[in-house]
Structure 1
Amino acid sequence: MSPTVPRSPGLPGVLVVMPAWNEQDAIGSTIHDVTSTLGVDVLVVDDGSIDHTAREAMRAGAVVCSLPYNLGVGGAMRTGYRYALRHGYDTVVQIDADGQHDPRYLPHLLEALRTRDDQPGADLVIGARFAGEGADYQVSWVRRMAMRMLAGTLSRLAGTRLTDVTSGFRVANRRAVEVFASHYPAEYLGDTVESMVIALRAGCSVTQVAVEMRPRQGGVPSQTPFKAALFLGRAVMALALALIRRWPDVPGDREPAATVGGLP
């Protein structure tokens, strides 16, 4: 049986998806922060946590899908996109469970999806930390150089300037959701980069909106300097593979319906 979806009267077509792994100390305040800022529904994909992440998320009013073991952000997000598609949502917002993504920027990201002055809106909007308000976000020089290389390659592919292609603060419209529900990468840690290549290859447009990151709201970060370096190495590899692999030419190429992580 699928969980009951508490439709929000504020933004009924928008679903916030939070992939969460051992975030019991931050998840509750993060959910309250999002729902008090905007009237949106929240789905927490508990990615095999061994703490009380799922319990705290439910106490905060979110719908929770608990995966049987840790699949990584890619697997958790594909679950979220499939849930959104099957429950009739038109827009999916990805927000980290640790509270670093400020929901006050959400209206600006959502606005970038909309057509204005006969100019079509984007299909995928990235909350960029290095594009104005977040330009002073501090990372190591090695990581910054690798991110610049990734951003330069994807900017050429997208036909627009992108500065933060590894950001997990994102908004996708129905067209992109249909692509990601079937093809969001779950194999390795390059999901943010590879997913953007998939979206572009499928004909989706991508843009960015400047955001500013906040300190973690609770808990202990799982990423160490070694893990950060490993992530960037895998992201570079993911980009190289994504550029040569074949992806769907048009959105909507869905896989047959199946049960994923307990969802219909």
Structure 2
Amino acid sequence: MLVVIPAHNEEDTIQDVIHDLKSHGYNDILVVDDASSDNTALFAKKLDVKVMSLPYNLGAWKATQAGVQYARKRNYTSLITFDADKQHLASQIKKLVHCQKLTKSNLVIGSCPSRGSLSRRIAWKLFRGLSGVKVNDLTSGFRLYDRFAIEVLSKKEASLLEYQDVGVLLMLKTFDIAKAETDVDMHRRESGISRIFYSWWAVLYYMGYTTMLCLSKIAKKTHLLPEKIKEV
């Protein structure tokens, strides 16, 4: 199992995150350095983990997908996506693994709804209704993907997405990916800012972008419905 850590300017926390993972026996780690301007990549390399340095900043999801594609090319059967800001805890990975073994799901989401701010909870409620994706913690980046999910998320279509949450979940839903959700503990962010919820402008952009994704999915289903009825 590979642990993929997308990281942009996380020199203050990346070493602690890697130490936490290694102390729990997770040594197969890939840090995807998203064109950091600080010492994120250097500090990670000093701790003897794999580092993929991107030539320019792509954003959290595309950096994550670079790690997903790495896993596919090297025939990993599963991977964990893990944040670099110390919110995610290595001790909680076993919960995702246990849930996957129990449910045989292709995707397991580590859920911690209590961390959500008011704006985050409003967004979650709206997009659960629009998308039909019944996930409590839509923006959690703490996930386990199996081989099938890795294959799907390595596709070119996934490169068009901007966020790991609703868009990715909608794409996986299209491919009949079985998902599960399990409660995990998380820490509060110790450094950096949320790419989505750091300002109301960012929230508005995120909500507009994700709403369009949801509506396009609904429109596609509506367009296909008469054909399906005719076939029946």
| Pair in the same fold by TM > 0.5 | yes
Deviations 1:155-210 (A, max 9, x none): x45xxx42111211111001101111114634453332111111111121111011
Separation of aligned partners in 1, 2:211 and 2:163: 8
SS at match of 2:158: coil
Task: Find 1:36's aligned residue among 23, 31, 42.
Answer: 23
Q: Tell me whether 1:225 sits opposite 2:199 in the alignment.
A: yes
Distance change (3 Å), C-alpha of 1:121 and 1:222: closer
Cα displacement (A) at 1:105: 1.1
Larger relative helix fraction: 2
Distance change (3 Å), C-alpha of 1:165 and 1:222: closer
TM-score normalised by structure 1 residue count: 0.75
Separation of aligned partners in 2, 1:187 and 1:169: 21
Seq. identity, %: 31
TM-score normalised by structure 2 residue count: 0.85
Q: Which amino acid aligns with 1:151?
A: R
Q: Which amino acid aligns with 1:220?
A: G
Q: Tell me whether 1:129 sits opposite 2:112 in the alignment.
A: yes
Q: Tell me whether 1:67 sits opposite 2:27 in the alignment.
A: no
Deviations 1:73-130 (A, max 9, x none): 221122111111111211110011111011211111011222x4xxx51100111112
Task: Find 2:126's aligned residue among 144, 149, 155.
Answer: 149
Which residue number in structure 1 is paired with residue 225 of structure 2?
Answer: none
Cα displacement (A) at 1:238: 3.1
Separation of aligned partners in 2, 1:31 and 1:106: 14
Cα displacement (A) at 1:146: 1.6
Q: Which amino acid aligns with 1:240?
A: L
Task: Find 1:139's aligned residue among 110, 117, 122.
Answer: 117
Q: Which runs of 5+ in 1 are unaligned?
A: 1-13, 131-135, 247-264
Cα displacement (A) at 1:24: 0.9
Tell whether the 8 Å contact from 1:21 to 1:48 is kept in structure 2 after alignment: yes
Which residue number in structure 2 is paired with residue 199 of structure 1?
Answer: 172
Task: Find 1:240's aligned residue among 209, 215, 222.
Answer: 215
Which residue number in structure 2 is paired with residue 174 of structure 1?
Answer: 147
Separation of aligned partners in 2, 1:235 and 1:79: 22
